[in-house]
Copies of this chain bind each other. A is one copy, B any other.
Amino acid sequence: MREALREAEKAAETGEVPVGAVIVKDGEILSRAYNLVETYASSSAHAEMLAMDQAEARLGSKWLLGCTLYVTLEPCAMCAGAMVLSRMERLVIGTMDPKNGASGSVFDITACERLNHEIEVTRGVLQEECAEALSSFFRELRITKAQLRRKKRAEETSQTCEHHQQGENNQ
C-alpha cells in the first residue's frame, strides 16, 4: 500500500485526484499506476484500469490469476467490474468511498455470488494516510479556487472602478 500511496502522490503532483494502484504477483510488483483522467481526458483512466492494462500486457494474458491489487481508494463500479472480469485474486483497499465505491459501499461487485468470480477483499490498510491524501488534495483545491474567485472579483471591481472613473472624466 505504501507503493500505491506513492502513486497517489504522483497523481496529486500532476493535479489529478490522488488515487494510486499497484498489482503484485508472487511478491513482485507487476504494474503501478495513478489516476490520469484529466491528463488523458478519459473518464476510464482510473489508476486501477491503467494498472490492470499494464499487468495483462506484461503477463500476455487477459486474466490476472494469483494477482493482488492494492488501491488507495475503494474502486468504482467500472474498476470493480474490471477486476472481476480479470479474475483478480485479491483486492486491498486503503480508504472506502461511500459515494461511488463498488466493493461494499454503493454496490458490492467484488463479492457478488451471481457473477462467475469473487475477490478476496481487505479494507482499511493505511486507511488514515490514504484518506488524508484525498482530503489534503481537495482542501488545497478549495483554497486555490477561493483564491482564484477572489482575484477575479478584485479584477472585476478594479475594471468597474476604471470604467466609472473614465465615465466621470468624459462628462
A44 near B114: Cβ-Cβ < 8 Å:
no
* Complex Cα spacing A38 to B62, Å: 7
Q: Which residues of B contact A60 (CB under 8 A)?
A: 41
This chain: copies in complex: 2
A106 near B112: Cβ-Cβ < 8 Å:
yes
A43 near B77: Cβ-Cβ < 8 Å:
no
- Residues of A contacting B: mostly: loop
Q: Which residues of B contact A85 (CB under 8 A)?
A: 43-44, 76, 78
Q: Which residues of B contact A114 (CB under 8 A)?
A: 99, 106
B-contacting 9-mer, from A48-56, A133-141, A160-168: A48-56
* Complex Cα spacing A87 to B106, Å: 18
